[in-house]
A and B are shown apart, each in its own frame.
Chain A
Amino acid sequence: MKTLLRLWPYVRPARARLFTAAFVAVLASCTGLVIPLVLKWMVDGPVADGDTAGVWLGALYLLLLGFAEALLFGLRRWLVARPLSHVEAEMRAGLYRHLQRLPVAFHDRWASGQLLSRATTDLMLLRMFLAFPLTFLLVNSVTILVGVIIMLLQDWALGLVILGPAIPVVVTCVIFEKRYAGVARLAQDQVGDLTTVVEESVLGIRIIKGFGRHRSQARAFRELSGTLRGTELRKAGLLATIWGVIVTLPEVAIGAALVLGCVQVADGELSAGTLVAFLSTALALRWPVDSIGFLLAMSQEAATATERYFEAMDEVPEQETCSSRAAGPHRPADGLRFHDVRFRYPDAPEDSPPVLDLIDLHIRPGESMALVGATGSGKTTLTALVPRLHELTSGRITLDGEDITAMPRQELRSRVAVAFEDPTLFSVSVGDNVLMGADERELDRALSVAQADFVHALPQGTDTQVGEQGLSLSGGQRQRLALARAVVGTPRFLVLDDPLSALDVHTEAAVEAALRDVLADTTALIVAHRPSTVQLADRVALLSGGRITAVGTHHELLRTNAEYAHLMSGSGDSGEGEDTR
C-alpha cells in the first residue's frame, strides 16, 4: 500500500480539484445523514401535532437537502473527470516516452504485452482508484464517524448496539484483504500465462497445423484455463465469505437495536421519531460499511498496478556519455573502425565467454565490407553495436576517427543507417515507412534502389496503409522496404544485416545492380550469407569465434581461407554431397 505514495508527483497537478472533490463528497454524504434528522423533527413535531404547515416546511427542507445532495455528488464527479483523465494520460505518455529511451537490452527482456498491460489496464485501475476508492475511503470513514456520533447523541445505548459488529467486521476485512491480494495476483499471472498460449498458438499457427499439433495445444490451453477457473472460484469463495459477514453482522445489530428501541419507546424513554431517525441513519450507513471491503480490494489492486508501473519506470534510460558538443573541427574521412571491441550481453553471466572478443576491423571511407560468419557467430550483434543499440563491453568504435561514444546518439544515428534482418513495418503509409521522417523527395530514389517499385501498384500507391492495421506484405516486399528505408537520405555509413535473404534470384540481381551505385561512395558493413551478396562488397571480413580471422577480397579468401571457402561454397564436405545425389 505504501507504493501508492509514489503516485503523488503525478497527482500533484490535480491536487486542488481532488481535495475539493473529496470535501464536496464528505459534504454530500453528511447532507444524506441530515435527512433522517429532518424526518425525526417532522414525526415528533408537526406530524404528532397535526401541524400541516409544519409538514409542508419539513417536506421543503427534504427537497432542498435532496437537491443539494444530488448537485454535490454531481459536482464531485465534474470536478475530477477531466483532471483524472489527464493524470492517466500523462502517466501513459510518461511511460511511453521512458520506454522508447530504455536500452534495447531491456526490450529484449520484456514482452511488449507486459509493457502494454502496464500502459492500459494498470493505468485505468489507477485512475479508478484516484476517482473512487481514494475519495470514498475518506468519505465513508467520515460518514461512518458522523453517523455513529449522531446515533450516539440520539441514544447512546442503541448506538453502542449498532457499533457492536464493527470490530469483527474490521478484523474480517483485514484478513480478507491479505488473502484476496494473494489470490488476485495469482489469477493475474495465470491470465498472463493463458494469454501467452493464445498468442503463441496464433503466431505459430503454421507450425501447429504443419505438424497437426492442435490437439496438444488445445490440451495445454484447457489445463491452463481450468487452473484459472479454480483460482477464480477461490477468489469468489473469499468474496462470498466477506459479503456474508458484512451483510449479516450489521443486520443483526440493527435487529437488536430495533427490539431495544421498541422497548424504550414503549417505556416512553424514546420518541417514535427518534427511533425512525435512528433506524434510517443506521440504514444510511449500510453502504459506507458494506463498501469498505471492496474499496480496500480495489486499493490493493491499485497498489499492485503502481508497483508494476514503476517496475518499468525505474529502469535507467540510455545516458548520453558526452556533453553537448560544438561542431568539432572537420575531420578527415577515415571510415569505420573497430578497436579491440569486446561484447557480452548485459544479462549474460559474468564468466560466460563474450559473444565478440577483440574485434579489430577497418572499413575505409567509401569501401563496402561484407561480414561473413557461421550461423550464430555474432554478425547481427556486431551490426547492432555501430548505432549503439547495445553498448560495448570494452574497446572503441570510431566513425571518421571519432569515438561513437563521444557524439550524441541522435547524431551518430543520423550518420549511420541500418537495414535490419527482421523488417518491421509500422501502421502508417508505405511512403512514411520508408521515409521515417525524411524529406519526401528522397522517396522515389530509395524505392528504385531497393527495387520496391511494387508500392506504386498498391491500391493507394505510396499512401497505402500497411502494418497491423493495413495491407500485409510478403517477406520479400518488407525486406525491400527496409532496405529503401536505409538508403533514404544517402547516409555516409550503411549497415545492412543480410538485406537480400528473402528475395528471389531475379529481384536479388536487380537490387544488387541498383545497390552497387549507392555503395560506390558509401562506407558500408553488409552481413552476408551468400556469394551473390558478398560480391556487392569490395572486401570481406570473416567472423569466427568472436574475432575477425581474415580480411580480403572474396576471391582471395576463397583461395586462401578454408573456413571461408567452406562457408561460401560448402567445399570440404561437398564430396559427401556428391555421393548422395
Chain B
Amino acid sequence: MTAPTTSAPTADQEPGRPGPKDTDDAFDHDRLPTPPGATALLLRSLLAPMRARVTVTTLLLLLQQAAVQAGPLLVAYAIDRAVPAFRDHDNGPLIAVGAGYLLCALASGGLQYAFILASARVNQDVLLDLRGRIFRHAQALSIDFHERYTSGRLISRSTTDVESLRELLSEGLQELVTVILSFLYISALLLWLDLGLGAVAVASFVPLYLLVRVYRQRAGRVYQKRSTAIAAVIVKFVETMNGIRPVRAFRREAANDADFAVLNKRHERVNGDALLEMARYVVGSRLVANAAVAGIVLWGAYRVAQDSLELGVLAAAVLYLRRLYDPIDRLGMFLNSYQSAAASLEKIAGLLAQTPTVPEPSVPRQLPALGSSDRPGREVVFEGVSFGYRTGGEVLPRFDLTLPAGQTVAVVGSTGAGKSTLAKLLARFYDPSGGRILLDGVDLRELAMPELRRGVVMVTQEAFLFSGTVAENIAIGRPDAGREEIERAAKAIGAHDFISALPDGYDTDVRKRGGRISAGQRQLVAFARALLADPAVLILDEATSSLDVPGERAVQRAMATVLRGRTAVVIAHRLSTVEIADRVLVMEHGRIVEDGTPAELVAGTGRFADLHRAWRDSLA
C-alpha cells in the first residue's frame, strides 16, 4: 500500500513550532534581546514605590555605622583626657566615656536590629513584586512565545535568577553600603584625628581600588565560565532523570557516566579557578592593608616618640585601621554576588520586555446574549483571515470561512497542513496576520479573557495534570462547580469508573503514590474539564489520540448529548472521529481544499474519499 508521503520538509512541521527557517534567532540562546537601559529601568521601577522605606533603611544604617565607629574615638578621648583628669580627681570625663560607650553599644545593637528588619521588609517586598511580575508576565505572553522559549528557561528565570537577586539584596547590598559607609566614616575620622595619618590611609585606597578592579575583571570572566559549566551539568542531569526509561532500556548508563564526568570535570576546574582567583585577591588586599597599617604605625609612633602626636590618637588610629581594612574580603564576595545578580536581572528584564502578541483589549465588548437555552452555540466567521509567523513564512493564506452556530466541523489533513494553526487562531492563542475572526459578530480581539473563555474552549493533545486531586483538575473547567457537577461531567465522558477505582477516588492526589494515570485516562480528565466549562464553541485538537475506540465513542456521545447544539471544531487524524461531524474540511498546505458533509466527500473523488476507503479497509 502506498500512501502519499509527507516528504516535503517544510510541510512536516507542526505549525506553531519553530521550523528550521526561524531557529537562528535569539530564542536559541538563553538571552532574549534586552533593550538598552531595560535592566536599570526595571530596578528603578521595583524600588520606586519603596523610596521612603529605602531612605529610612539607609538612614538606620548611617546611624548604626556612626554608633559603631564612635568606639575608638572614645578610646582616644579616654587615654588622652579622661586618664589625666582622673589623676586630678575629676571623674567626670571617665564617667562620660563609660556612659558614651554604653550608649554607643546599645545604639549600634538596637539600630542593627532595626536595620535588619527594615531591610528585610524592603527586600522581601521587592522580591514579591518581581516574582509576581515575572509570573503574571509569563502567563500573559502568548502561546507562540511559550512554544519558542523552552519551559526550562522560563522556570529558571523565576527561580534561580530571582534567587541570585535575593542573595544580592539580602547579603550583598547591605555589605556594600556598610563597606562604603565605614570607608567614608573612618577616612573622615582619621583625617580629623590627624591629617597626615589620615592622608596615608586614604592614599592606600588607590592600590586597593586597582586591585578590586583587576579582580572584578578576572573574576567576571571566571564566573561567567562557571555559570555556563554548571548549566551544562544541570541540563545533562535533568535530561537523564526525566528520560530514565530510555536511558535504562538502551543501556546508556555507562556512556552517560562518561559524558557527565566530562561536564562535571569542567565545572570542577572552573570552580577551582574561581576559588583561586578569590585567594589571590585576598592575599593582595591583605598585603596592601597590612603594609598600610605598618606604615601608619611607624610614622605615628615616630611622631609620638618625638612628642608631636598624642598616644591616644595613635591608639585610636590603629584601632580604626583594623576596622578599615576588615571589610575588603567581604567586598570581593559582594562583587561575586553582584555580578551573578546583574546577569540574572538582565535576563529577567529581557523576559519582561517581551510584549504579548495577543494583548487584552483596552475597551472590551460583551458577547450578545444567547437566544435560548436550546441554542447554546455561537456562529464563527473567519473574515479574510491569513496567518504567518513574524519571522516570515505564510502558514495560512487568506481565506474566508463561516461556521454556523451548532455545527460540528471536522478538520482533517496531514501534519503541517495548518489544522492546528486554524484551531489556535479560533482559540485566540494567536492573532491573525490579516483579517478578523468574529464570534457572533464580535471580533475575538475585543473580548476580555473571561468572556472569551466562556465562548471558546480548546482541548489539546497534551493532557497535562496539575498537582492536586483529580476533582481539582476537572474543576479547572469551572472553579465554582460542586462535586456533583464534577462527577456528572466525568460520568458523561466515561471517566467515572477509573476515577472511582483510584485509591481515594476523586480525592486522589495525581502526584502521589498510587496516582498513576495513563495517557488515555489523562485525556479523559481533560475532556471532563471541557465538559464542565460548557463553552459555546469547543475546539478539540487531536484530543483523542491516546484514547481507544470506546473512549472516543464516549467522547462523541458526550458531544452529542451534553454538548448538543454547541459549535464544535474537531481536528483528528482518525476518521472515526469524523463520523459525527456535520461537515468536513480537508486542509492541505494551509488551504481548505475540500468542504462538505462527510457523505458528500465520501461519495466524491477527492482526498477525503481516498482516506475514507483506506480506513474502511482497515476495519473490514
Contacts and interface: CB of A to CB of B under 8 A. Distances in A.
Interface string B451-465: 011100111111010
Contacts of A194: 131
B276 A501 contact: no
Contacts of B400: none
B514 interface: yes
B71 interface: yes
B276 A375 contact: no
A114 B261 CA distance: 21
A76 to B, nearest CB: 8
B432 interface: no
A15 B477 CA distance: 59
A251 interface: yes
Given A66-B294, A255-B98, A472-B18, A418 B240 contact: no
A573 B547 contact: no
B250 A85 contact: no
B301 A202 contact: no
Contact of B519 (A206, A422, A506): A422
B371 interface: no
Given A262-B83, A380-B518, A504-B414, A577 B553 contact: yes
Nearest to A74: B283
A17 interface: no
Contacts of A251: 71, 101, 104-105, 108-109
Contacts of A101: 253
Contact of A375 (B245, B287, B458, B498): B498
B322 A284 contact: yes
B101 A67 contact: no
Contacts of A229: 124-125, 127-128
Interface in B334-353: none
B301 A46 contact: yes
A272 B98 CA distance: 18
Contacts of A512: 1
Contacts of B521: 375-376
Contacts of A471: 18, 20, 23
Given A89-B265, A375-B524, A454 B250 contact: no
Interface string A241-284: 10111011101101110110011011000001001100110011
A222 to B, nearest CB: 6
Interface stretch (A152-160, A344-352, A392-400): A344-352
Contacts of B275: 77, 80-82, 84-85, 131
B382 to A, nearest CB: 19
B232 to A, nearest CB: 9
A116 B237 contact: yes
Main SS class of interface, A: helix
A391 interface: no
A508 B238 CA distance: 32
B151 A374 contact: no
Given A252-B102, A283-B322, A531-B618, A474 B17 contact: yes
Nearest to B549: A570
Contact of B79 (A262, A387, A417): A262
B294 A272 contact: no
A164 to B, nearest CB: 13
Contact of A248 (B106, B461, B611): B106
A265 B75 CA distance: 13
Interface residues on B, range: 35 or more
A280 B318 contact: yes
Given A85-B272, A236-B116, A506-B414, A374 B241 contact: no
Nearest to A507: B6
A345 B322 CA distance: 65
Interface in B106-121: 106, 108-110, 112-114, 116-117, 120-121
B155 A225 contact: no
Interface in B247-291: 247-253, 255-257, 260-261, 264-265, 267-269, 271-272, 275-276, 278-280, 282-283, 286-287, 289-291
Nearest to A576: B557
A69 interface: yes
A226 B124 CA distance: 9
A134 interface: no
Contacts of B524: 375
A221 B133 CA distance: 11
Given A70-B287, A210-B460, A530-B574, A96 B240 contact: yes
Nearest to B461: A475
A413 B519 CA distance: 25
Contact of A120 (B234, B265, B575): B234
A99 interface: yes
Contact of A74 (B105, B132, B279, B503): B279
B250 A62 contact: no
B131 A239 contact: no
Nearest to B326: A287
Interface residues of A, number: 188
Specify which of A51, A89, A251, A255 lies most central, judged by the most chain B CB atoms within 10 Å of its CB: A255
Nearest to A115: B241
A566 B146 CA distance: 40
A550 B506 CA distance: 32
A552 interface: no
A92 interface: yes
Contact of A258 (B20, B23, B97, B546): B97
B497 to A, nearest CB: 9
Contacts of B213: none
B283 A70 contact: yes
Interface in B198-222: none
B268 A88 contact: yes
B244 A107 contact: yes
A143 interface: no
A422 to B, nearest CB: 7
Contacts of B450: 212, 215
B557 A577 contact: yes
A52 B305 CA distance: 7
A218 B128 CA distance: 13
B118 to A, nearest CB: 9
B109 A244 contact: yes
B282 A74 contact: yes
A97 B159 CA distance: 26
A204 B466 contact: yes
A567 B471 CA distance: 27
Contacts of B189: none
Contact of A56 (B128, B298, B319): B298
Interface string A123-162: 0000000010000000000000000000000000000000
Contacts of B20: 457-459, 471
Contact of B155 (A93, A198, A426): A198
A537 B193 CA distance: 96
Interface string B2-34: 111111011011100110100110000000000
A55 B298 contact: yes
Contacts of A265: 79, 83
Interface string B426-470: 010100000000000000000001101110011111101011000
B401 to A, nearest CB: 21
Contact of B17 (A66, A252, A473): A473
A506 B429 contact: no
15 contacts: A35-B293, A62-B293, A74-B279, A77-B276, A96-B256, A99-B240, A116-B238, A209-B143, A216-B479, A252-B102, A266-B87, A276-B315, A283-B323, A349-B514, A508-B573
Given A100-B247, A212-B454, A375-B518, 13 more contacts: A52-B306, A70-B289, A89-B267, A100-B257, A115-B237, A196-B467, A205-B146, A208-B139, A254-B71, A280-B319, A468-B235, A468-B238, A568-B619
Pairs of residues from A and B, 8 with the lowest C-beta to C-beta distance, nearest first: A66-B290, A248-B109, A212-B453, A457-B9, A255-B101, A236-B120, A474-B14, A74-B283
